[in-house]
């Protein structure tokens, strides 16, 4: 079971056109697993419309070889801070020499990013049983709000949709459908797709998700302090120098939150839409439901029929 590959029947376009939006509301409450051609698929009414998990889409690793640490950027999931932390752990001398800080953004030069050994985990490291892989993960709906406020509202870079969330989600959904049908890694990824794709499409999770330590993060203090404790534990286990551990802990206490948009009018409106607008909720469920199945998130913000936690799939 554990080694079973996950496979989802990807419906043809024709079939999709026949399935109407209304089927969605009649979806049965419980799901079933079935084996098709030695692959495990989840079955429930309307599953063909959902974006599948574990597409080999995008990855950006950050490696600290001498600490035997591998991390991976998940956009809109504390990614700036994760990059700064890993850059510090990769080579502290270089980091200090360049006056880098845990508050740096993508606009600041990070020297580590010029090094292949920072960007690509070696096969030896991947094989080493002492290697720890860790990534910060964030509730999919919250992550989408954060993405939308930054890239659509602030940068206005979402398919000429402006602030129209309905328009963004419609285009985004069909963009993801296109990628899951056919993606060879050679085309230039779309801006929205690459930033907001399901978490399970990142980091080679399709290969080895069960090897990863996943650290849920949020914007509020309680969620943050649990993430800090888990990170601290990992760094101690890998025998990272106490001075650096303290720096990381302090950085995580005040770094990379959504402070700038926290409780802004745009955020309140986006949160309302995500709670109340039926079309927006439908699209979000279709796009991110499997992230809630694959990762250990609380499913309370999902529609009742999708909150059933007995619906799980074997992890790669």
Ligand X SMILES: *[C@@H]1O[C@H](CO)[C@@H](O)[C@H](O)[C@H]1NC(C)=O
Least distance CB 299 / ligand X (angstroms): 28
C-beta closer to ligand X: residue 222 or 243 = 243
CA–CA dist 198, 175 (Å, integer): 12
Least distance CB 5 / ligand X (angstroms): 11
C-beta closer to ligand X: residue 208 or 254 = 254
Under 8 Å CB-to-CB from 28, ≥6 apart: which residues? 44, 45, 305
Residue 139 is given by DSSP the state -
Binding site for ligand X (CB under 6 A): 56, 92, 101-103, 123-124, 127, 164, 166-167, 170, 185, 241, 243-244, 254
Asked whether 144 and 288 are in contact (CB, 8 A), the reply is yes
Least distance CB 222 / ligand X (angstroms): 19
In terms of Cα–Cα distance, which of 84, 135, 80, 90 is closest to 115? 90
CA–CA dist 30, 310 (Å, integer): 8
How many of the other CB atoms lie within 10 Å of CB of 236? 11
Least distance CB 182 / ligand X (angstroms): 13
CA–CA dist 312, 130 (Å, integer): 28
Least distance CB 307 / ligand X (angstroms): 28
- Residue 31's region, left for phi above 0, alpha for psi from -120 to 50, else beta, is beta
C-beta closer to ligand X: residue 185 or 296 = 185
Least distance CB 128 / ligand X (angstroms): 8
C-beta closer to ligand X: residue 44 or 191 = 191
C-beta closer to ligand X: residue 34 or 157 = 157
Strand 32-36 vs strand 61-64: parallel, antiparallel, or unpaired? Answer: unpaired
In terms of Cα–Cα distance, which of 122, 105, 137, 138 is closest to 69? 122
C-beta closer to ligand X: residue 139 or 195 = 195
Q: Which residue is nearest to ligand X (CB)?
A: 185
């Amino acid at each position: 079971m554990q080694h079973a590959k996950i496979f989802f029947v990807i419906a043809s376009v024709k079939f999709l056109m026949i399935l109407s939006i209304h089927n969605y509301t009649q979806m049965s409450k419980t799901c079933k697993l079935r084996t098709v051609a030695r692959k495990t698929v989840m079955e429930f009414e309307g599953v063909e419309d959902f974006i599948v998990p574990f597409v080999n889409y995008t990855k950006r690793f950050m490696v600290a070889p001498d600490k035997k640490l591998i991390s991976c950027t998940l956009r809109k999931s504390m990614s700036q801070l994760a990059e700064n932390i890993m850059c510090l752990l990769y080579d502290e001398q270089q980091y200090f020499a360049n006056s880098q800080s845990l508050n740096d953004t993508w606009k600041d030069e990070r020297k580590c990013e010029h090094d292949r050994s920072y960007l690509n985990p070696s096969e030896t490291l991947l094989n080493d049983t002492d290697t720890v892989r860790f990534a910060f993960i964030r509730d999919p709906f919250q992550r989408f709000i954060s993405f939308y406020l930054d890239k659509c509202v602030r940068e206005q870079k979402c398919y000429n949709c402006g602030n129209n969330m309905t328009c963004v989600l419609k285009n985004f959904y069909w963009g993801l459908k296109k990628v899951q049908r056919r993606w060879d890694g050679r085309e230039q990824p779309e801006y929205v797709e690459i930033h907001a794709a399901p978490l399970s499409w990142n980091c080679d999770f399709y290969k080895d998700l069960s090897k990863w330590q996943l650290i849920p993060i949020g914007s509020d203090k309680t969620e943050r302090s649990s993430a800090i404790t888990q990170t601290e534990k990992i760094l101690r286990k890998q025998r990272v120098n106490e001075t650096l551990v303290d720096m990381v802990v302090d950085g995580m206490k005040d770094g990379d939150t959504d402070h700038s948009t926290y409780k802004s009018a745009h955020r309140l409106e986006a949160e309302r839409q995500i709670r109340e607008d039926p079309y927006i909720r439908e699209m979000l469920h279709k796009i991110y439901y499997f992230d809630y199945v694959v990762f250990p998130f609380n499913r309370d913000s999902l529609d009742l029929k999708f909150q059933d936690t007995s619906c799980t799939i074997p992890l790669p």
